[in-house]
A = this chain, B = another copy of it.
Amino acid sequence: MNGVASEALILDAWQANAQAWERAVRGGVIESRKLVTDRAIVEAVLSRTPRKVIDLGCGEGWLARMLAATGIEVTGVDVVPSLVDAAQKQGGGSFRVMSYEDVAAGALHERADVVVCNFSLLGHASVDGLLAAVPGLLETGGVLLVQTIHPWSAGVEPYRDGWREGSWAGCGEGFGEPAPWYFRTLDGWMASFRGAGLRLVDLKEPIHPHTGKPASVIFMAG
C-alpha cells in the first residue's frame, strides 16, 4: 500500500472509531496512559510554564482541559469533527476542526509557547508537512513537545522508518479496523525535526512502573 492510501486510512479509522476512543480515554482504559504517559506529557508542558498552548491532534480534549484548568490558554485542533465536538462540550479550551494539511498550509493563525502532539503523529508526509509548519506556530523561545511510541519498545522489525500494521490492542471494546501507522526510528525523528527547521532540546523516557521499560518517548524541539 502506498503512503497516500495509508494516510487516508488513518483518517478513516479515527472517524470510524471516534466514539470508542472517547470512551477509552475518558474511562481511563489505556493502562500505560493512566499509569505513566498522561502525567508525563502534562509535566513536560508545565515545565515550560506556558501562557498559551496549541494541542495538535487533541482528540476529545483531555490534555487541553487539564492544562486549561491550570490557567493556560489552550487551542486544540483535530481533524475528526465528532472528537472536536466532544471536546467543545466539555470546554476548557478553544477547539477547531482542522486537518494537518490545513495547519501545514497556514490555516491556524495563532502562536503558542508550547505546541504539543500527544500520540497524535501517526502518518508520514502528513506529519512532515505539519512539523514544517510548527516553527510558524511558536512564540520566540517556544518549543514543540511530541510524545510518541518509544522506537525501541515498538518491537517492530526491521529497525527502519516505514509503514506498519496498526492495532487497537489495550484500548478496550468497541473498536473497528485499525489503521496503519508510520514507524520512525530515533534517527528518523531527528531527521524529521531537522527537516522542519527544529532542533532537539531535550528527550524524556517515561518509565512504565510495571515493566521498568520506557512507556514512550517525549521529544522537546525548538
Binding site for B on A (CB under 8 A): 151-152, 157-160, 185-187, 190, 194, 199-205, 207, 212-214, 217
Which residues of chain B have C-beta atoms less than 8 A from A199's C-beta?
199, 201
Inter-chain contact A194/B185, CB cutoff 8 Å: no
- For A159, the closest partner residue in chain B by CB is B213
Q: Which of B152, B186, B187, B212 contacts A157 (CB 8 A)?
A: B212
Given known A152-B152, A160-B207, A207-B159, contact A190–B212 (CB-CB < 8 A): no
- For A187, the closest partner residue in chain B by CB is B205
Inter-chain contact A187/B203, CB cutoff 8 Å: yes
Inter-chain contact A190/B202, CB cutoff 8 Å: yes
Which residues of chain B have C-beta atoms less than 8 A from A217's C-beta?
186
Provide the bound-state CA to CA distance between A160 and B201, in Å.
Answer: 21
A76 → B minimal CB distance (Å): 28
- For A152, the closest partner residue in chain B by CB is B152
Provide the bound-state CA to CA distance between A187 and B214, in Å.
Answer: 10
Inter-chain contact A185/B201, CB cutoff 8 Å: no
Q: Which of B151, B187, B203 contacts A190 (CB 8 A)?
A: B203
Would you mind naming 10 contact pairs between A and B with Cβ atoms under 8 Å apart? Answer: A152-B152, A157-B212, A157-B213, A159-B213, A159-B214, A186-B186, A186-B203, A187-B203, A190-B203, A200-B200
